[in-house]
Structure 1
Amino acid sequence: MNDIFNYGSSHLDIGTCLDIAARKTRGVIDSVAAAKIQNSWREVQKIAHGHHAVYGINTGFGPLCDTRVSEDDTSLLQSNLLKSHSVGVGNPIPAEIAKLMLVTKVHALAQGFSGIALTTLERIIWHIDNEVIPVVPEKGSVGASGDLAPLAHLFLPLIGFGEVFDKGERVPTAKVLATHNLQPLTLGPKEGLALINGTQFILAFAVKAVQRLDDALNRADVIGAMSLEGMMGSMRPFDERLHQLRPYKGTKLVAKRLHALLEDSEICNSHVNCDRVQDPYSLRCMPQVHGASRNAWLHLKELTEVELNSVTDNPIVFNADDTISGGNFHGQPLAMVLDYAAIAAAEIGNIADRRCYLMSEGRYGLPKLLTANAGLNSGLMIPQYTTAALVTENKTLCFPASADSVPTSLGQEDHVSMGSISGRKLHRVIDNLEYIQAIELLYAAQAIDFRRPLKSTPIVEACHALVRQNVPHIDDDRIFADDINAIHRLIISGELLNIINHTAIANQIDFNDDEFGIY
C-alpha cells in the first residue's frame, strides 16, 4: 500500500475511494486538514459555552429544535443521538459498502465545517485501516436529514455499542475494543450530529454502483459483439460517420468499441455481400441503446464525484458567529440519478434478452434453439425464460423511489428523498443484469460454434475460449443452471473483463475513452 490520499485536502474520485476500501491506497489526515478540523472544533466549543442557540449543539433535534439543552448535557445529547437513531432493520449491508461509508464520511468531516474532534476522525480511520467494519442494517433511511439510521449504526462502535465485522466474524464492539486496548470515545458538542447528518449511505451505494455498472456496460458491448457474430450481423451500423450525425457521447463510444471489436473478423468478412438489408434492432441499435445507458452512467459518475467532495452536514459551521442550518443533507441529487441509472441497467438486460431470443429462433443459418438435435433435446429454450423473468423483475424495480416522499419528524422533515432505496434497488437490478449477461454469453458462445471454421477477432475469440474452458459445447440437454452459474462466476470474479483487457492490450486494440473511466 504505497499510495496516500489526504482526507479533507485532496480531491476524492471514485477509483481512489474504492482503492482506499480495497487497501490499495491509505487515507490520512495531513497537517492542512488537521488545522481546519481543530479550528472548527474550537468554534463549536465557543458555541457550546455561549448563550446563542445553535441547532444540534445546544438544542434538541428535529421537531425538538426549539428545546434548549444545558451546557453540562451537550455531550450526553450527542451519545443519546447515536443510540436513539439506531433503528435500522433488515440484513447487514455488505462490509465493503459500510467501509465506503466510513471513507466518505471522514473526507466530508475533514474539510473542517462540522466541529468534529480530530481524535474522533482518527478513530474512524483506525476502523478503516484495521478492517473493523461496523454492522449496518440495510433498511431505515429516508434519505434526508442525512442517512440517519444507517449512520447511527455505523458510528455506535465509537461509543462502545453495536457490532462490527472483525476478521470476517460478527462480534460485539466492546469485545473488539478490549482486544485492541481501546476505550469508547466521549463525544463532544455537535459530534454525534455531525456523524449522522450526511448522505454517506446513499453515496457508498452510488460509488459501488458506478463501478459495477461500468463493468456491466463494458461486458455488454463485447457480449453483444459476440451475439452479432453468432448471427452473422453487419458491422456497418457502427460506422463512425453515422454517429457523427447524432453525436451523443455514449453512442459514439459504443460504436467505436463495436467497430474495434469486429474489425477484420473472418465471420464478418464472410458475408459482406449477403442480401440481408437490415439487422433487427437489438443488433443494429446497440450504439443507441447501450450508448444511452452509458450517458446515464456518465451522469451518475459526475454527480457521485460532486457528492464525494461535498460537505453534507447540518448545521454548517463557518465560525462561532456564523452557522447555517440548511439542507445539504438532502439526498435528492443522488436519489434521482440512481433511479435513472436503474433504468439504464435494466435496459442493458432488456436488449440482451432480445438477442437471446433471436439466437434461439433458428434464423440466420443457426439451428432452432441452438442445438443440432432439437426435439429430443430442448436445447437453449428455457434459459431465455430466465432472462425474460429477470428483465421483468428489473422493470418492477425501475419505479423511482425519489418520486415518493413520506413526511417524518412530526412534519419538520416534510419532504425526503428515499435515495437509500434508490441506491439499494439499483444494485438489485445490476445483480439480475449479471445473470442475464451470463445467459447471453452462453447463447453467443454456442452460436459462434456453428460458424466454425471461421474465426472472429482476438477479443471475441478470447472470450469464447474462456467460456469453453468452463462450459462445453451443448450437444444434448443437461442441467443448464450449472452452465449459467459457471459463466456468472466468470463475470462477478472479473475474470471475463480481465481477459478482455489483457487481449486488447496484447493486440493494441484501443476502444476505451478516459471520460468513461472511474479514475
Structure 2
Amino acid sequence: MNKVFLDGNSLRIEDVVNVSRNNYRVQLSDNAIDNVIKSREVVERYVNEEKVVYGITTGFGKFSDVVISKDEAKILQKNLIISHSCGVGEPLDEEIVRGVMLLRANALAKGYSGIRIETLNTLIEMINEGVHPVIPEKGSLGSSGDLAPLSHMVLVMLGEGEAFYKGTRMSGKDAMKLANISTIELTSKEGLALINGTQVMTAIGALAVYDAMSLSKMADIIAGLTVEALYGIVTAFDENVHQVRPHKGQMNTAKNLLKVLQDSNMTSEQGEIRVQDAYVLRCLPQIHGASKDAIEYVREKVEIEINSATDNPLIFRHEDKVISGGNFHGQPMALSFDFLGIALAELANVSERRLERLVNPALSDLPAFLVEKGGLNSGFMIVQYSAASLVSENKVLAHPASVDSIPSSANQEDHVSMGTIAARKARTILDNTRKVLAMELLGACQAIDLRGNKGLGKGTSVAYNLVRHEVSKLEDDKIMYKDINKCEALLKTNIINEKVEECIGKLY
C-alpha cells in the first residue's frame, strides 16, 4: 500500500499530490512521534506551573493579556474552535481538504507545537479513512494563519461541524462514527496548534503550482503546433540566441520548441518566407520562459512552507523556551501565489494572441476563422471571443491580493497577508488558462488540416494525433463547447505531456 511518511522536514509537492489526489496513506515517522511527545511534555509542565505563556495560559489576539486558569484550559481550546468557525462560501474541493490536513499534520510532526500525539493521530486517521471536513473556501485573512477554515477542520475532530464521507455530506459526528474514529477533547495549546498556520493557502497553492508546471510544458507543445500552422520561423529558437541571455526558463523553452518541432515540414528558417515573425511566435522562449521561472520560484517557496512550523507560540524544548513569534503570517505565500497568478495569466494572454493570428485573415493566409464557406459558417470566430473573455477575467484576478491589508482583533493583528485569497485566485487563473490553451490547441489542429498536413514535428505530431482521436476537423458549424471541453480534458489529464515525453524525451 502506498504511503507517505511524515517527519516534518522532507515532504515534497509530489507527496502532497499523491495524498490529495491518489489517496496515499499517511504515517508518522518514529522520530516525529518522539519529538511530538517531548514537546507536549514542555506544555504540560508550563500549565502545571501556571506560567503565563500566550495561547497556553492566556486568551488569544487582543485577549492575550487575559490569564486563563489551569481548570479552564479545556474550555478555552474548545471555545477557540467554535468561535473561530466563521468560514463562508462553497466547500473546498476534497483534494484540497486532504492537502490541508496533510500539511497541518506535517507541521505538527516537526515537534514545535506542543500537541498531544493522540490528537495528531486522530487527524492522520481522518486522512487515511477518508473523513473530509466541510471547509468553506472564504473567511481567512492569511494571518494569524488560516484561522477560520482550519477551525472547520477541527470541528469534525470534536464531533461537530460537517464532513464528506464516501461521497456523502453528513454531520462530523456521524462521519467519525462511520469511519470508526474516536472524537477528541482538546486540552491546553491544542486548538491553537491546529488552526494557527498557513496550511489552507499552501494546500491550494501547492496543487496549483504542481499543475502550473505541467501546463507550462503543454503551452510549449501547443505553441509548437501554432508555429507549424503559421509556417513559423524556428531560427529564433536557436540556442545561440538564448545563451547570450541565459535565463533558465527562456533557454528551456527554446529547447522544448526545437525538440517538439524536430523533423517538421511545416516550419521555416529566417528569410525563407519572411524575415521575422510577430512577437507571439518569435518571443515564445522569452514569454513562456519568464512564466516558467516565476512558477519555479513559487515551487521553491512552497516546498519550504510545507516543511515549516507555522503556529504560535513555538516550543523549543532543548532550550526550554516557548517563544511567541509570527510564523503564521502568510506573506511569503501571499506574494508567491500572486506571482503564480500573474505568471499563469501571461500564458493565457499570449495563447489568445496566437489564436487571434490563426483566426484573423489579416494576420495570416489561412481561411477566415478557420472554416471553409465562411459567412455561411462562423467557424472559430466565437472561440476567440471566449478566449478573450477568459484572458480579460484573468487580468482582473491577477491584481495582487497581498497589497491589501485590513487590521483585525482590535488592531493587535494590524497587518494581514490575504494569502488565501491569492491562492484561490491563482487556482482560478490556472483553470481559465487551461481553457484558453485548449482553444488554441483546437484552433492550431484545425489550421494544420486546412493547410494540409505536410508532416509535423516529432512532438507536435503526437499532440495532434491525440486531439484528432477525440475531435474531428471542423467542416461546417457545430456546437463548439463540446470540442473545447474534450481538448481541455486532454490537458487536465496531462496525457499530452506524457505521450510527447515518451516520444522525444523530457521537456522542461
Q: Aligning the two structures, in what range does the TM-score lie when normalised by the shorter sequence?
A: over 0.9
Matched ranges for 1:66-81 at <5 A? 66-81=65-80
Root-mean-square deviation (Å)? 1.5
Q: Residue 504 in 1 paired to residue 506 in 2?
A: no
Deviation of 1:364 (Å):
4.0
Deviation of 1:470 (Å):
2.0
Distance 2:81 2:444 in 1: 52
What is aligned with 1:125?
124
| Contact 2:142-2:419 at 8 Å conserved across structures | yes
| 1:313-358 Cα shifts (integer Å, max 9, x gaps) | 1000113941110000000001001001111100100000101110
Deviation of 1:391 (Å):
0.6
Q: Relative to structure 1, is the Cα distance of residues 249 and 453 closer, same or farther in structure 2, using a 3 angstrom cutoff? A: closer
Task: Single out whichever of 326-335 and 426-435 deviates more from structure 2.
Answer: 426-435
Q: Relative to structure 1, is the Cα distance of residues 401 and 274 closer, same or farther in structure 2, using a 3 angstrom cutoff? A: same
Deviation of 1:415 (Å):
0.2
Amino acid at match of 1:265: S
| 1:420-467 Cα shifts (integer Å, max 9, x gaps) | 100001111111111111110111000111232401023212221222
| 1:484-503 Cα shifts (integer Å, max 9, x gaps) | 122222222x1xx3244224
Distance 2:193 2:342 in 1: 33
What is aligned with 1:398?
398
Amino acid at match of 1:207: A
What is aligned with 2:113?
114
Deviation of 1:212 (Å):
1.6
What is aligned with 2:240?
241
| Contact 1:79-1:187 at 8 Å conserved across structures | yes
Matched ranges for 1:203-242 at <5 A? 203-242=202-241
Matched ranges for 1:111-510 at <5 A? 111-268=110-267, 274-319=272-317, 321-362=320-361, 363-492=363-492, 494=493, 497-505=494-502, 507=503, 509-510=504-505
| Contact 1:147-1:199 at 8 Å conserved across structures | yes
| 1:277-308 Cα shifts (integer Å, max 9, x gaps) | 11110111110000000011011000000001
Distance 1:112 1:156 in 2: 23
Deviation of 1:185 (Å):
0.5
Distance 1:165 1:176 in 2: 7
| Contact 1:260-1:511 at 8 Å conserved across structures | no
Q: Relative to structure 1, is the Cα distance of residues 171 and 444 closer, same or farther in structure 2, using a 3 angstrom cutoff? A: same
The 3-state SS of whatever aligns with 1:41 is: helix
| 1:224-279 Cα shifts (integer Å, max 9, x gaps) | 0001100110111111111000000110110000011112112226x776230111
| Contact 2:57-2:67 at 8 Å conserved across structures | yes
Distance 1:247 1:420 in 2: 34
TM-score, scaled relative to structure 1: 0.95
| Matched residue count | 506
| Contact 2:261-2:458 at 8 Å conserved across structures | no
| Contact 1:267-1:451 at 8 Å conserved across structures | no
Q: Relative to structure 1, is the Cα distance of residues 423 and 457 closer, same or farther in structure 2, using a 3 angstrom cutoff? A: same
Task: Single out whichever of 176-185 and 252-261 deviates more from structure 2.
Answer: 176-185
Deviation of 1:511 (Å):
4.2
Q: Relative to structure 1, is the Cα distance of residues 18 and 37 closer, same or farther in structure 2, using a 3 angstrom cutoff? A: same
| Contact 2:209-2:340 at 8 Å conserved across structures | no
What is aligned with 1:42?
41
Distance 1:33 1:272 in 2: 60
What is aligned with 1:27?
26
Deviation of 1:9 (Å):
5.2
Amino acid at match of 2:498: N
Task: Single out whichever of 412-421 and 472-481 deviates more from structure 2.
Answer: 472-481
Distance 1:101 1:133 in 2: 10
| Contact 1:8-1:109 at 8 Å conserved across structures | no
Distance 1:297 1:124 in 2: 31
Of all paired residues, the percent bearing the same amino acid is: 42
Q: Relative to structure 1, is the Cα distance of residues 181 and 302 closer, same or farther in structure 2, using a 3 angstrom cutoff? A: closer
The 3-state SS of whatever aligns with 1:411 is: coil
Distance 1:297 1:35 in 2: 36
Amino acid at match of 1:178: K
Distance 1:114 1:57 in 2: 11
| Contact 2:145-2:196 at 8 Å conserved across structures | yes
Amino acid at match of 2:91: P
**Unaligned residue ranges in structure 2 (runs of 5+):** none
Deviation of 1:110 (Å):
0.7
Task: Single out whichever of 289-298 and 205-214 deviates more from structure 2.
Answer: 205-214
Distance 2:195 2:453 in 1: 62
Task: Single out whichever of 482-491 and 67-76 deviates more from structure 2.
Answer: 482-491
The 3-state SS of whatever aligns with 1:323 is: strand
Q: Relative to structure 1, is the Cα distance of residues 429 and 453 closer, same or farther in structure 2, using a 3 angstrom cutoff? A: closer
Deviation of 1:377 (Å):
1.4
Distance 2:326 2:225 in 1: 48
The 3-state SS of whatever aligns with 1:382 is: helix
| Contact 1:197-1:313 at 8 Å conserved across structures | yes
Distance 2:97 2:8 in 1: 22
Amino acid at match of 1:501: E
What is aligned with 1:82?
81
| Contact 1:48-1:57 at 8 Å conserved across structures | yes
| Contact 1:459-1:500 at 8 Å conserved across structures | no
The 3-state SS of whatever aligns with 1:127 is: helix
| 1:51-73 Cα shifts (integer Å, max 9, x gaps) | 32000111111100010111011
TM-score, scaled relative to structure 2: 0.97
Q: Residue 12 in 1 paired to residue 7 in 2?
A: no
| Contact 2:47-2:56 at 8 Å conserved across structures | yes
Q: Relative to structure 1, is the Cα distance of residues 184 and 226 closer, same or farther in structure 2, using a 3 angstrom cutoff? A: same
Deviation of 1:131 (Å):
1.0
**Unaligned residue ranges in structure 1 (runs of 5+):** 514-519
Amino acid at match of 2:48: H
| Contact 2:145-2:329 at 8 Å conserved across structures | yes
Distance 2:210 2:108 in 1: 24
Amino acid at match of 2:293: N
